[in-house]
Structure 1
Amino acid sequence: MHISELAESFAATLPRAQRARLHQEYSAANAARWSNFPQSALGHRGRLGLRTGALTPEQWRAPNTLLAAATGTAPNRGYDKIQQHLDADDHLRAHGAGYGYGYGYGYGYGYGYGYGYGYGYGRGNFYVAFLGTPSEIGRWELQFGGHHLAVANTYADGALIGATPSFRGIEPFAGFEARDGVREPGRHMREALAALLAALSPAQSAAARLGRPHHDLLLGPGRDWAFPSRAEGIAGVELTAEQRTLLPAAIEEYVADVDDESAARILAGYARELDATHVAFTGSASLLRPGDYIRIDGPSVWVEFSMHDGIVLAEPHPHAVWRDKNTDYGGRGF
């Protein structure tokens, strides 16, 4: 079935009031209503759509089928990674985030830190929305997100035309026990980026190092189309043949979160731009400590990874975002 048909099948399982929350206007303002915060920290500008906690176990099957079709099939990517994120938020709810009062603060860009009330964490506090009408004709967007997760897939005439902004944060970052074993949804992304930095020579590492610290993502929530006018760091054309294999491998850890066919097409486009794609970092090259930061900045691709102090738990955790300079939100076609 096509994505639009799966979306319609999900909507058909819902009573009228839930369908009304699921279907939202397709607009730039609504598309931008995503965040890394728990919903309880967002106030009146919270996420749109249907709260997953309102779904019965039977109703959950349809959005899971939809997400599985819209995202990658490989282990620790796409749909599997989303399920691990939901497990992580359940873990937070069970280990310190289930009680207390809520607050949040940011840096003026719509992102920052926040605690939630007891209902702020857990897989029941994610939201799914259809911006516009799912169809094989015209444009619409599938939104799915919650604390540390944002999926924003835009479709036009049945084809995926934009898979970003795509946000992935994770707390706990260290492995944690879930229903079916140990979960580590952020490990492979960090390892791919750290392997790229570890492969640089001292001179290349000096060229890639940013001259100022970065304490969060430059293009997190609320920072749409704010790409720097000049790329910093070391360019792909200056990398050795071996290093040039590590750069697309790191990018793939972000792009493989969309369906396999679309991911292959997007990665092929980024590969053609590899010479002009820059790598820059600050902090330690291990990407394990608060303040460690790396970005990959190409003619089209933009990815970031930023380590933070723990919020609910003690150990540090990452924020990561993938943007596309041409196809964020499907382009400027609202």
Structure 2
Amino acid sequence: MIRKFTASLLLTLLISAIFIRCSRTDDDTTSATVTALDCSSVTYSATATANTAYSGTATVPYTGGNGVAYSAGSAISSTGVTGLTATLVAGTLASGSGSLTYTISGTPADSGTALFAISFGGQSCSLSLTVSGTSTTADCSSSTGVAKVVCLANAFLSTLTSDQQSSVVLTLNLENAKRWSNLPCALSCRNGLLFGDLTTAQQTAALAVIKAAAGTASGEAYDEFEAIRAADDYLNTSGGGSSYGDGNYVIAFLGTPSTTGKWMLQYGGHHFASNITYNAGSVVSITPLHEGVEPHGSFTVNDTTYECPLASELSGVQTMLGSFTSSELSSAKISSTFSDCLMVPGSTTNTFPTTKQGIQVSSLSTTAQANVWAAIQPWINDIDSAQAATIREAYSDELSDTYVCYASNTSATAGDASSFFTTNTDYVRIDGPSIWIEFICQTGVVFSSAIHYHTVMRDHERDYLDLE
């Protein structure tokens, strides 16, 4: 009896132990499962900068969680950009969709992308953390010039998901460089990401890049860009429809933003297209640049009243031609009639005319020569002044060999600046060894009873620099 009892007791204890052991696996991390990890939608709590200590978190969405608790993971070392580790934070899965948190720390050894191969709950994917170029402060406040543009570009990239980064950083080639437009065609004719698809924080970061590249000259540069965007909102609410509006503006990087390599910043939308090329930390091209506006006068959006966003461009070309003598005007006048700028996107050949027309600047009076140079400034001023200084100097050196021609303007009078550019097809061109500027009046599209303006600045030497 005693032996039987003992054997029975041992058997009971063994079964109990097995039951307890099996019960405990329900709370063990090895039983945590998910049906999918979404590394393309990861958000990061902080931006990373090369050679600067980093501490932040990555939030990774998942679906199909089974509600089980899990413990902290082991450190996962980064590849690509080395020097960082990612570690899973302990938690409990939702029954369905939720997110995992990984702490990321260390000092990234270089700029680029730090990759972390994570596996959890039977699923695997790769985290991608953008690491910006070396800067003394991650917020870019101590950077200047092109270095600041690059710092802010990388800060913007760090706010994006992997899919968004793939959409905004594209190959620097001629095909992509030529994808700019003056039309309300959103991404169908442009590269990059729509502002309307960005979060508030992402759009703020994108606009910071543009402001650093364009500069802060009053009434020019970033101010002008924002006013033209506001005009598009005005068209949207004035019968133009959803094709118009500031949410249809875009930003793109052709090549990786860097102070050592070559890349292009593209931003714009309807009536605005900026294409700035950087190489080895310098601005090497500020064209093509398209600017237009409808309506051409004042308008109010969200309780803010904007005066003509292209007032300085208009005033410049009016004053220039208004300072020509009757004889100079006669030499500058050409018989052609234009419906738009010649060098806009969509040109059949996209090449400049081989013969310059009009009057050479060197043959003008001293006053008129000064006014030609003044007329050029509003376009150059839409790029940060210090960054565009070398190109400005080149245009100045070539001024005497530059030509001015104009067309239509049938009611214009010598000495009367305001008599120029008052009706449809009134047109002017400034054509130098390098610089090319066109300004034209067109019948309005949304406001068909009024005119609006199209302008373009191109460069015979620097457009699509070394991309042919």
TM-score in same-fold range (> 0.5):
yes
Counterpart residue type for residue 425 of structure 2: G
Match of 1:122 among 242, 245, 248: 245
Match of 1:222 among 346, 366, 373: 346
Counterpart residue type for residue 23 of structure 1: V
Q: Deviations over 1:45-102 (max 9, x none)?
A: x21110110112222211111111101321121111000011000000010112xxxx
Match of 1:250 among 371, 375, 384: 375
Match of 1:33 among 176, 179, 191: 179
**TM-score, length-normalised on structure 2?**
0.64
Is structure 2 residue 276 aligned with structure 1 residue 141? no
**Residues 225 and 325 in structure 1, CA contact (< 8 A), matched pair in contact too:** no
What CA distance in whole angstroms lies between the structure 1 residues aligned with 2:228 and 2:345?
18
**In the alignment, which residue of structure 1 is the partner of 2:4?**
none
What CA distance in whole angstroms lies between the structure 2 residues aligned with 1:270 and 1:48?
29
Counterpart residue type for residue 305 of structure 1: F
Counterpart residue type for residue 462 of structure 2: T
SS of structure 2 residue aligned to 1:193 = helix
Question: Quick check: 80-89 or 264-273, which moved more?
Answer: 264-273
Counterpart residue type for residue 150 of structure 1: A
Match of 1:309 among 433, 443, 465: 443
Quote the offset at 1:225 in angstroms. Answer: 5.2
Question: Quick check: 240-249 or 221-230, which moved more?
Answer: 221-230
Counterpart residue type for residue 249 of structure 2: F
What CA distance in whole angstroms lies between the structure 2 residues aligned with 1:195 and 1:142?
32
What CA distance in whole angstroms lies between the structure 2 residues aligned with 1:69 and 1:32?
23
Quote the offset at 1:333 in angstroms. Answer: 3.8
**TM-score, length-normalised on structure 1?**
0.89
**Residues 286 and 388 in structure 2, CA contact (< 8 A), matched pair in contact too:** no
Is structure 2 residue 153 aligned with structure 1 residue 7? yes
**In the alignment, which residue of structure 1 is the partner of 2:215?**
72
SS of structure 1 residue aligned to 2:191 = coil
SS of structure 2 residue aligned to 1:96 = helix
What CA distance in whole angstroms lies between the structure 2 residues aligned with 1:92 and 1:210?
34
Quote the offset at 1:14 in angstroms. Answer: 1.1
**In the alignment, which residue of structure 2 is the partner of 1:186?**
310
Q: Deviations over 1:292-316 (max 9, x none)?
A: 0000001111000011110011311
Is structure 2 residue 394 aligned with structure 1 residue 269? yes
**In the alignment, which residue of structure 2 is the partner of 1:92?**
235
What CA distance in whole angstroms lies between the structure 1 residues aligned with 2:295 and 2:215?
22
Match of 2:433 among 299, 304, 311: 299
Quote the offset at 1:17 in angstroms. Answer: 1.9
What CA distance in whole angstroms lies between the structure 2 residues aligned with 1:130 and 1:85?
21
Q: Deviations over 1:248-301 (max 9, x none)?
A: 111011111111113333222111111111110011141121010000001111
Greater fraction strand: 2
SS of structure 1 residue aligned to 2:277 = strand
What CA distance in whole angstroms lies between the structure 2 residues aligned with 1:177 and 1:311?
18
**In the alignment, which residue of structure 2 is the partner of 1:196?**
320
SS of structure 2 residue aligned to 1:74 = coil
What CA distance in whole angstroms lies between the structure 1 residues aligned with 2:408 and 2:215?
31
What CA distance in whole angstroms lies between the structure 2 residues aligned with 1:54 and 1:261?
32
Quote the offset at 1:193 in angstroms. Answer: 0.1
SS of structure 1 residue aligned to 2:387 = helix
RMSD between aligned residues? 1.5
Counterpart residue type for residue 370 of structure 2: T
What CA distance in whole angstroms lies between the structure 2 residues aligned with 1:72 and 1:302?
22
Give structure 1 regions of 4+ aligned residues with deviation exceeding 6 angstroms.
Answer: none
Identity of counterpart residues, as a percentage? 35
What CA distance in whole angstroms lies between the structure 2 residues aligned with 1:88 and 1:306?
18
**Residues 149 and 167 in structure 1, CA contact (< 8 A), matched pair in contact too:** yes
Q: Deviations over 1:2-57 (max 9, x none)?
A: 122211110101122211211111110001011111116x85xx211101101122
**In the alignment, which residue of structure 2 is the partner of 1:48?**
191
SS of structure 2 residue aligned to 1:250 = helix
**Residues 284 and 391 in structure 2, CA contact (< 8 A), matched pair in contact too:** no
What CA distance in whole angstroms lies between the structure 2 residues aligned with 1:277 and 1:33?
28
Higher normalized contact order (CA 8 Å, seq sep 6+, divided by chain length): 1
Counterpart residue type for residue 379 of structure 2: Y
Counterpart residue type for residue 303 of structure 1: I
Q: Which has the larger radius of gyration?
A: 2
SS of structure 2 residue aligned to 1:252 = helix
**In the alignment, which residue of structure 2 is the partner of 1:61?**
204
Match of 1:169 among 281, 292, 300: 292
Counterpart residue type for residue 321 of structure 1: V
Question: Quick check: 177-186 or 317-326, which moved more?
Answer: 177-186
Counterpart residue type for residue 47 of structure 1: R
**In the alignment, which residue of structure 2 is the partner of 1:111?**
none
Structure 1 unaligned segments of length 5 or more: list them. 99-117
Match of 1:206 among 311, 315, 330: 330
**Residues 235 and 276 in structure 1, CA contact (< 8 A), matched pair in contact too:** yes
Equivalenced residue count is 310
Counterpart residue type for residue 222 of structure 1: G
Quote the offset at 1:332 in angstroms. Answer: 2.2
Is structure 2 residue 343 aligned with structure 1 residue 233? no
**Residues 96 and 313 in structure 1, CA contact (< 8 A), matched pair in contact too:** no
What CA distance in whole angstroms lies between the structure 2 residues aligned with 1:127 and 1:182?
22
What CA distance in whole angstroms lies between the structure 2 residues aligned with 1:156 and 1:266?
14
Structure 2 unaligned segments of length 5 or more: list them. 1-142, 413-419
Counterpart residue type for residue 443 of structure 2: D
